[in-house]
Amino acid sequence: MPRLHPFLLLTAVAVLAGAAQAQEPAAPAAASAGTPAASASPEPAPPVAPEPVHAAINQLMDASWQKNGITPAPLSSDAEFLRRVTLDLIGRIPTVEESRAFLANTSPSKRSETIDALLAMPEYARHMQHQFDVILMRRLPQKHVPVAEWQKFLRDSFAQNKPWTQVAKEVLIADGLDEKNRGPARFYLDREAEVNTVTRDIAKVFLGADLLCAQCHDHPHYDGFKQAHYYGIAAYLNRTFLFTPKGKPPVLAEKAEGEAKFKSVFLKDQAEMTATPRVFDGMVLQEVAFKPGEEYEVKPEKDKPEIRPIPKFSRRAFLAEAIASPDNSRFARTLANQVWAMLLGRGIVHPVHLDHPDNPPAHPEVLDLLTREIKTHQFDVKWLVREIVLTSAYQRSSAPVDPAQMPPEESFACFPLKPLSPEQFCWSVLEASGETAVHRKALAAGLNEEALFNRLASYQNRFVQLFGGQPGTPPTSYESTMEQVLFLANDGLINNLLPPKNGNTSGRALALPKENDRAVVDELFLSVLSRPATDSEAQEFVSMLAGTEGDARRMAIQDSTWALLTSAEFRFNH
């Protein structure tokens, strides 16, 4: 298909430089203390409601910026905010109707109201499933548990807003025996229950600690990561192994004996040490002692390998309690830091898996506050997401006051350009092109989130294949490949989304009066970029559309849609 006008390939910098400024989002007012009625024994007045956490974060960030002489970016425009928060909470750009309604809304509380509405949508659970699937499984290939079962477990967990402690425990204690609920066991089973792999991934995901080097010695650069930390976790796991019942898929089994032993490769004369089951500096596991021969509920038998052994005391079961304990501040701190990084492009401790004293947090008071409060709020992930997106740091523009003096990334004084995840990119392309609008209409009374997803899931699979990186190593930075460029330029999947049809973006634009090309341009920009065109952009597009008829007009609109879809502005969350 021929392409028109190289100027249509907009740059993010040029677009963001013209972003309009928006009003400061209003913080929810604190409730006032009641006044008890006069009586002989008056009841005590109810306490004043504590300041909202996002407001406290705003104060801490403002003080940090002022102390360090940093001028934060202005708050994002309404259009910029709506696109950003919709991508971050439900994994797609807003519909053209949602954009029009939000931009026309004059309520001072419309941002917080929109956040609450997005968090209540079923798309929130699926988006969080996508995010945490990558965190927990790194897009590892399917082995023993269907990916769909694992993803359903995650999606249901976020739909029910399970506490993160509960989700972690269900993952860490799962053995795969329940044939109707094997999903959570994928964390272990698809890693083959290999003790070193599982130890490293548990430490990274749940404890913010990359202990790879500590497998062989104390970390040579980070005093906070010790060999004893690595083997303290491994000691909970080294008795666990993969067991395959006859005619059934593998499950986990566990022995009643076996210790994790280690010595540093740097200390040749050091005696081998036996690891104590312990999660960093937490409580030491107190094991129950049994008389010899009484350690098992079901004893292993050498001549009967089909018998799955069951010890009376499971170390692995206690690992789940030790890690997901409310008393384990590292667990709470890692969750707070991961969600902050998910929403603001980098962690307060960055990278999130290198949380140690030699890599201090950029804003320690903010991370301490979030760590305390996530415990107070019973590890409510939705609460945590809401408080972070209500902060002014999240709602800052991506365009700094002075482009020549970009604030340091770790200051969070300017919102970063975040490349869309493969899933976000897919569903945003489908939304921007109007393909989802066509299928919503076709589903009619049968329309719901699951039905729409199932209709279009094949698109997501293709985007993940192309943009998701190598299995087990999802990309951590943005870099286009030739395969990705050719896909967006010429692939039939993309080209088939562009021709006008009833209800899609090109179709709606083509149906507008030829005498009002500016309305056509605004329809395209609002549908694809979630904002109206600037005057200079509109002038360029109108000049291209002017005087076109029939097939020439159809192609001009079609190519304009393609150009906006493949622009740098569309490819990033900003």
The average confidence (pLDDT) of the chain is: 90
Q: What average pLDDT does the segment 254-270 reach? A: 88
Instruction: For residue range 110-122, list pLDDT tens digits in order.
Output: 999 999 999 999 9
In this prediction, residues 323-345 reach a mean pLDDT of: 96
- Residue 130, CA distances (Å) to 137, 147, 163, 191, 512 in order: 10, 12, 18, 19, 37
Neighbours of 460 (CB within 10 A): 17
Q: Is 547 left (phi over 0), alpha (psi -120 to 50) or beta?
A: left
- Whose tokens are 């490349």? That residue is 419
Identify the three-state secondary structure at position 413: coil
Task: Give the separation between CA 468 and CA 389, rounded to whole angstroms.
Answer: 25
Which pLDDT belongs to residue 50?
A: 57
**N residues, the chain:** 574
Which among 367, 278, 285, 371 is positioned nearest to 326, based on CA atoms? Answer: 371
pLDDT band at 7 (very low <50, low <70, confident <90, very high): very low
Looking at residue 220, what is its pLDDT? 79
Q: Is the pLDDT of residue 445 over 70?
A: yes
For residue 360, count other CB atoms closer than 10 A to its CB: 12
Q: What is the reported pLDDT for 477?
A: 78
Q: Which pLDDT band, with edges at 50, 70 and 90, does 219 fall under? A: confident
pLDDT of the residue at 94: 98
Q: Which residue has the higher pLDDT, 315 or 16?
A: 315
Average pLDDT over residues 483-487: 94
Using CA atoms, how far apart are residues 558 and 554, in angstroms rounded to an integer?
6
Rounded to the nearest angstrom, the gap between the alpha carbon of residue 570 and the centroid of all alpha carbons in its chain is: 19
CA–CA gap between residue 18 and residue 20 (Å, rounded) = 6
Beta-bridge partner residues of 209: 354
CA 495 to chain centre: 29
Least confidently predicted of 33-47, 57-71, 229-243, 505-519 = 33-47
pLDDT tens digits along 296-307: 999 998 888 899
Quick check: pTM over 0.75?
A: yes
Predicted local confidence at residue 473, as pLDDT: 83
- The phi-psi region of residue 292 (left if phi > 0; otherwise alpha if psi is between -120 and 50; otherwise beta) is beta
Distances from the Cα of 352 to the Cα of 96, 362, 416, angstroms: 35, 12, 17
Enclosing H/E stretch for 433: helix 422-433
Report the C-alpha gap between 251 and 189 in whole angstroms. 7
Residues 275 and 119: their CA atoms lie apart, in Å, by 44
Give dist(CA 301, CA 169) in Å, integer.
30
Of the candidates 147, 144, 168, 177, the one whose C-alpha atom is nearest the C-alpha of residue 252 is 177
Please determine, for residue 126, whether its predicted confidence score (pLDDT) is greater than 70. Answer: yes
Q: What integer is the mean pLDDT of 53-79?
A: 97
Mean pLDDT in residue range 86-99: 98
Q: Please report the pLDDT score of residue 269 as a whole number.
A: 77
CA angle 166, 172, 175 (to 5 degrees): 115
Alpha carbon distances (Å) from 211 to 58, 261, 351: 34, 16, 14
Residue range 486-519, pLDDT digits in tens: 999 999 999 999 999 999 999 999 999 988 999 9
Q: Quick one: pLDDT at residue 21?
A: 36
For residue 87, pLDDT beyond 60: yes
Phi/psi for 304 (5° steps) reads -135, 75
pLDDT at 31 over 60: no
pLDDT per position as a tens digit, 153-177: 999 999 999 999 999 999 999 999 9
Q: Give the amino acid at 525.
A: F
Residue ranges per domain, the chain?
A: 132-154+162-323
Q: How confident is the model at residue 223 (pLDDT cuts 50, 70, 90)?
A: confident
